[in-house]
Amino acid sequence: MNLPLLKYAPSSQNTRVAGYEVGGDEQPKIYDAENLYSPSDMDNLIEAAYRQIFFHAFKSDRETILESQLRNRQITVRDFIRGLLLSETFKNSFYEKNSNYRFVEHCVQKVLGRDVYSEKEKIAWSIVVATKGLRGFIDQLLDSDEYLENFGYDIVPYQRRRYLPSREQGEMPFNIKSPRYDAYYRGILGFPQIIWQNQVRRFIPQEKQAKAGDPSLYLNMARSINAQASPTPRVSAQNISLDKVPYRK
């Protein structure tokens, strides 16, 4: 039986107030399918969608059929986001490598463009994942009033209100704040690895680097030669045979 979404409240009253923000270079760029004037604009929109959902898409991760449908206006941006969330790349990278709670956190950040309010929200959406499956969870996220009010059918989701006028520094990007793999799978995969560098390297400008034929290039080779002076033989006069001494006849 599919359980309804449990009620949860925002952790702060600020989230209930509509933000008044002045556009600028620090504000995220909004990619809207209704404001495309050239094929390159569509390319930029598709790349922005890949960055938002996958953070980085290799050539093998790209969904060429979905891209073609979006370029031909057969599907909306919302449908394209849905296809990326249901792709094998997203399943292998996020769904199968994390618990339901952490997977919910990833999806809320990527789809709704904000952090989860509290543990209650994680539990509420995790119940949806457990009862309706991955597709049901994704559909409910994309059909939510919050998504439709902020992004609609033609806007690529982005991290909302990352920069606020009252703050000197913005929030950390989601891809840095929330690694793709959980700590358990990071330990299995063997990263992050700490590499200790014993040798101290110094930067030498190119104009000061030794060129071919410079004697300094052979300094280490000269130092590696263990040159020793030949010992002077000590001969005693009592051991000299007069038969071997040359003389004139």
- In this structure, the number of other CB atoms found within 10 A of the CB of residue 107 comes to 22
| Total Cβ atoms within 10 A of residue 226 | 5
> What integer is the mean pLDDT of 190-215?
73
Highest mean pLDDT among 7-21, 119-133, 213-227: 119-133
Would you say residue 228 lies in a domain? no
Q: What is the mean pLDDT of residues 49-57?
A: 89
Residue 65 falls inside a structural domain: yes
- Average pLDDT over the chain, rounded to whole? 80
Residue 211 lies in a domain: no
| Structural domains counted in the chain | 1
User: Is the residue at 66 inside a domain?
Assistant: yes
Query: Quick check: is 207 in a domain?
Result: no
- Give Cα separations from 189 to 56, 130, 173, 177, 211 (angstroms): 19, 26, 24, 19, 44
Looking at the whole model, is its pTM more than 0.75? no
pLDDT tens for residues 79-90?
999 999 999 999
Is the residue at 212 inside a domain?
A: no
Could you tell me the maximum CA-CA distance found in the chain, to the nearest angstrom? 130
Q: Is residue 199 part of a domain?
A: no
Give the residue numbers spanning the domain of 27.
20-189
Q: How far is residue 56's CA from residue 211's CA, in Å, rounded to a whole number?
A: 41
| CATH label of the domain that carries residue 180 | 1.10.3130.20
* 35, part of any domain: yes
- For 149-197, what is each residue's pLDDT tens digit? 989 999 999 988 776 666 666 677 777 777 777 676 667 766 666 665 5
